[in-house]
Amino acid sequence: MKNTVATFLKMKQQGEKISMLTCYDYSTAKLEEEAGINGILVGDSLGNVMLGLPDTISVTMEDMITFGHAVARACHNTMVVIDMPFMSYQVSVEQAVMNAGRLMKEGRANAVKLEGGAAVCPQIKAITDAGIPVMAHLGLTPQSVNALGGNRVQGKTEAGAQKLIEDALAIQEAGAFAVVLECIPAKLADMITKKLDIPTIGIGAGAGCDGQILVYQDMLGLFSEYTPKFVKHFAELGGAMKEAFQAYDREVKAGSYPAPEHTFKIDDDVLEKLY
Ligand code: KIV
């Protein structure tokens, strides 16, 4: 059964936790779907983990469409949310609706995600009015890394926490169907979760959220440049992959791969006719 915005809302109402992971390619998306993950985010974190960029600022609409469509092709049950990249929605409401439409038409998204609170409510309302579900994103919003002065925990002061509560209520009022809460204190995320009718999806925001999301390379131990405090390695595939690459390298150099069972045959009488 396809996970939809209605499924997410029902899960919150029934107290059932929502699982989300990021994904950027067809093969991994198939595995996530088979594992029963409720939602996949094709995050602009692809800038970091797929393209090796220092942040998400340079990620383009074309990047999001290419990776997004690859994921969408694998997902029959899992909801696919595609991130709106930096500057694809901030300039004007009209551009925001056009670009959200492209992610649906060309990327085959089921919903889009954008970062920000009250400041982007006109965009959230217009995109939602166009029939496109919007997931909001509050707290640490990586596209604003330069304005925030780094990737730091948000909402620790009274003013910061109050602003987050107001933003959460505003994006709900504007029509968002869910909100990602990134890197905020667990007790604040819990409070926001209780105040909202829409589901909260936490990343570094504690267990009180209605659901959780992680970057899949982080939770599989595939990305070792930095590991945020909230990341748990559910497997250590980085080491396993490196060992496999080393074994291949050894066998190729020793001439033991490919073995006869990996090769194609030709009849000797065909060979004899060749000159
Ligand atoms: O781009 C991304 O992967 C995200 C998640 C960290 C929520 O926005």
User: pLDDT tens digits, residue range 13-68?
Assistant: 999 999 999 999 999 999 999 999 999 999 999 999 999 999 999 999 999 999 99
Distance 215 CA to ligand 1 centre (A): 7
Pocket test of ligand 1: the residue of 45, 84, 209 to mutate, having most ligand atoms within 8 Å of its CB, is 45
Model confidence band, residue 274 (pLDDT cutoffs 50, 70, 90) = very high
Average pLDDT of 231-235?
Answer: 97
- pLDDT at res. 50: 97
For all residues of the chain together, what is the average pLDDT? 97
Contact in structure between 136 and 179 (CB atoms under 8 Å): yes
* Residue type (1 letter), 89: Y
Q: The pTM is what?
A: 0.96
Q: How many residues are given for the chain? A: 275
Q: Which residues partner with 42 through β-bridges?
A: 82
Tell me which long-range contacts 152-159 makes (C-beta under 8 A, separation of at least 24).
152/183, 153/183, 153/184, 153/185, 153/204, 154/182, 154/183, 154/184, 155/184, 155/185, 155/188, 156/185
Model confidence band, residue 179 (pLDDT cutoffs 50, 70, 90) = very high
The answer to whether residue 132 scores a pLDDT higher than 90 is yes
The reply to whether 182 belongs to the active site is yes
The answer to whether residue 9 scores a pLDDT higher than 90 is yes
Instruction: Give the model confidence (pLDDT) of 188-221 as tens digits.
Output: 999 999 999 999 999 999 999 999 999 999 999 9
Domains in the chain (CATH in brackets) are 5-236 (3.20.20.60), 240-272 (no CATH)
- pLDDT at res. 261: 97
Residue 138, ligand 1, Cβ within 6 A? no
The answer to whether residue 90 scores a pLDDT higher than 90 is yes
Instruction: State whether residue 252 is helix, strand or coil.
Output: helix
Q: Which one, of 170, 119, 107, lies nearest residue 143 by Cα?
A: 119
Q: What percent of the chain has pLDDT over 70?
A: 100
Distance CA 223, CA 85 (A): 22
Least confident of 85-94, 145-154, 187-196, 243-252: 145-154
The answer to whether residue 157 scores a pLDDT higher than 90 is yes
Residue 200, ligand 1, Cβ within 6 A? no
The token pair at 206 is 């504690």
Residue 59, ligand 1, Cβ within 6 A? no
